[in-house]
Amino acid sequence: MMYSKIIGTGSYLPEKILTNSDLESIVDTSDSWIRSRTGIEQRHIAAESEMASDLAVNACHKAMESADIGADEIDLIIVATTTPDMIFPSTACILQNKLGIQGCPAFDVQAVCSGFIYALATADMFIRAGRCRTALVVGTEIYSRILDWNDRSTCVLFGDGAGAVLITKCDQPGILSSHLHANGSHYTTLALPGSISRGKIKGNPFITMDGNTVFKFAVKVMEEIVHEALAENNLQISDISWLIPHQANIRIIQSTAKKLGISMDKVVTTIAKHGNTSAASIPLALDIAVRDERIRPDQYVLLEGVGGGFTWGAVLIRW
């Protein structure tokens, strides 16, 4: 039987750092207010010249280096992003060109903060079906450009960044299972409702969010999806070495861990330094935990995310 396995990780954060103290001069907020409600201390902000594909390129080069994989060995590119370089072509095609890769399929996935989970699951299915051998899966976001910097309920939450993984065909299971869900009845709860029509912006071009509803829904489904993944693989909570959730809010993460009965010592968190980087948050956290050697061979690692739509999902890995 054919499986897929992660063989390389990489990440990139823009140089500019925006601290909570910096935000105090921009919007009516405070460092203590942000920390107590979100767990965020700072976030990275892309330079004006940087696009989502540029952030992705840097993350991809690090992933390719760690895997010792050349561009000519990649035969699938999937990019998860809510903030593409342009409406079309896809950011994946732009990234393909910047990496000097030709001919292989390249496309974007839009599932907001669950985007990387959706993209990784899709790449895994391509490999299991024998349609590719080595896939590059990326989450990249520049949320700083879709925030209303006068809205303290949203502008304090998000940051910019990119993370990437390389997965390849393997005889032994790496990715054990993936679990994807959506409930479109909540599409207005977390959204960017604006659009472009006849050369003009139509509607609100900034993120809107019902924070209380998002919080309650996220905690509920992030608990449920973990149990779903464990049940399919006949595992227990105690078998999980590392839980890597979407980095939306430290209180969501803590509440989920408490409901699952898992110690926060086994949860990878990066939100304090990154903020919510949407589709980039899980691969960013994964790369950090791999590089500091918290994640080791034969451990069970569970990735999970929830995002606007609502979408949610999980990928269970035997590292």
3-state secondary structure the chain: CCEEEEEEEEEECCCEEEEHHHHCCCCCCCHHHHHHHHCCCEEEECCCCCCHHHHHHHHHHHHHHHHCCCHHHCCEEEEECCCCCCCCCCHHHHHHHHHCCCCCCEEEECCHHHHHHHHHHHHHHHHHCCCCCEEEEEEEEEHHHCCCCCCHHHHCCECEEEEEEEEEEECCCCEEEEEEEECHHHCCCEECCCEEECCEEECCCCCEECHHHHHHHHHHHHHHHHHHHHHHCCCCHHHEEEEEECCCCHHHHHHHHHHHCCCHHHECCCHHHHCECHHHHHHHHHHHHHHCCCCCCCCEEEEEEEECCCEEEEEEEEC
**Contact predicate 17/44, CB 8 Å:** yes
CA-based nearest residue to 106, from 90, 122, 119: 90
**One of 113, 132, 249, 274 is an active-site residue; which one?**
113
Has 179 been annotated as catalytic?
A: no
Query: Tokens 């977390």 sit at which residue?
Result: 190
Has 246 been annotated as catalytic?
A: yes
**One of 58, 246, 249, 274 is an active-site residue; which one?**
246
**One of 20, 58, 249, 276 is an active-site residue; which one?**
276
Q: Rounded to whole angstroms, how far apart are CA atoms 153 and 156?
A: 7
Q: Please give the structure tokens belonging to residue 19.
A: 């601290």
**Contact predicate 166/136, CB 8 Å:** yes
Q: Rounded to whole angstroms, how far apart are CA atoms 161 and 113?
A: 13
Q: Which residues are catalytic?
A: 113, 246, 276
